[in-house]
Amino acid sequence: MAAWLTGLVWLALTNNPVALQSADLSWIPPATAGMRAPALAPEATDRRLLRKPWCDFGRHAQRVGKLQDGVDVVFRRPSAESRTALNEVIESLQNPNDYKAIAAAEARFTRLAQTVDGPRLLRIALQDADPRVELMALKASRLVMGRQPRLVAFATPFLGAADPQLAIAAVETHFASGCNTAAQYALDGFRHPDEGVQLATLKSVYAATRTHEDLRLADRIGDLVVQGHGTPRARIIALRILGRLGLEAASTNVEALLTDKQDAVAAEALATLAILQPGAAEKRLGKWLKDKSVVKRAGALRAFAQVYASRLDLAEKVLRPLLADSTPLPDPLGVGVGPGRTLGEVARAALAYVAMQ
């Protein structure tokens, strides 16, 4: 796992040195020989625990709309003191080389965002013409977005921002609202041409699904992948998420990716299909185990472990002769095409998985 993750980080930083410099990629599900049971967090599958519901965006807007004029904390004019403080913060951001002043200004604004005037200051900052002010506001808004979800309307335009940092911050802000409607809008992040934004969107969808037990967002990601959105690496990670969540409704989309031009994507699709629809994957195993692409053969071995998890006798017959296969697995995308660096190591992991069932 460490090897493929290191490769993923290196390639990600190479392709996008700005957006992914501090990205946490440890959440990405690794390639494994078997994941028959959806691997949600334990608390997400314990029905005795109260799951956090999505907020009702329409009901919230309706409740705010009934307030008397001048009470709306988002649109009411801020106090003179607060506006002066905001102007001072903005002025401190103007020297890009004064990192100490910038850090102090951002910290001050974060505190301002949590005051009574916070929502209206955030609205003003989000509408500023300076990208530095907008990014600062997007990051700070996550702290209050759950209480003031209407602010998300001012963050939505940044989902398509050319600057990946703005787009990533916008995605995270939408999900911070806790509203399904806002999260649906944030899926546009997967359409963004920058891979860092795509991965940030996948991470948010994965986390939100585990929190709210709502598979609709992940299902929509499956639609976007089939439509051609996402880099090859992002499509692979999306497939792993669909398999890890056990989203059977996505099996049609997953099956469509078996013909992807990237062998690694097609192989991941077969391994995922074996989790969601073992019967559909079983029909393809014979051909894929003999494919000229070693990456596809590795995907077939992972799928084999899923489909025949209860057939140790068959696994011994098919997999054991492959244990000594030292054919290296090319991994140009840096995602790890199997649990091992050679085809034999993948076969060994597959056999071990079947033996444990």
Contact yes or no for 188/157 (Cβ under 8 A): no
Cβ–Cβ < 8 Å for 290, 316: no
> Is 153 domain-assigned?
yes
Q: Which amino acid is at 227?
A: Q
Please tell me the predicted confidence (pLDDT) of residue 108: 96
CB 12 within 8 A of CB 199: yes
- Rounded to 5°, the CA angle 65-54-116 comes to 50
Q: Domain for residue 341, yes or no?
A: no
Cβ–Cβ < 8 Å for 51, 44:
yes
Query: Model pTM?
Result: 0.86
Rounded-to-integer distance, Cα 152 and Cα 146, Å: 10
What confidence score (pLDDT) does residue 133 get?
96
- Do the domain assignments include residue 166? yes
In this structure, are residues 224 and 190 in contact, taking their beta carbons and an 8 Å threshold?
yes
What pLDDT is attached to residue 23?
54
Q: Which domain holds residue 140?
A: 54-182
- Crossing angle of the two packed helices 263-276 and 294-307, in degrees rounded to 10: 10
Residue 289 placed within a domain: no
Query: In this predicted structure, what is the pLDDT of residue 63?
Result: 66
- Mean of per-residue pLDDT scores for the chain: 86
CA distances from 307 to 257, 271, 290 (A): 19, 10, 17
Q: Is the pLDDT of residue 107 over 70?
A: yes
Whether residue 145 is contained in a domain is answered as yes
Q: Quick: pLDDT tens for 215-268.
A: 889 999 999 999 999 999 999 999 999 998 888 889 999 999 999 999 999 999
How much is the pLDDT for 281? 96
Question: Per-residue pLDDT tens for 25-69?
Answer: 788 888 988 876 554 544 444 444 445 678 877 676 666 655 544
* pLDDT above 50 (res 17): no
User: Residue 215 has what pLDDT?
Assistant: 87
pLDDT at position 66 is 58
Q: How far is CA 234 from CA 160, 219, 252, 322, in A?
A: 17, 15, 19, 30
Whether 335 is covered by a domain: the verdict is no
Total domain count for the chain? 1
**What is the per-residue pLDDT for 65?**
56
Burial class of 58 by CB neighbour count within 10 A (0 to 12, 13 to 18, 19+): exposed
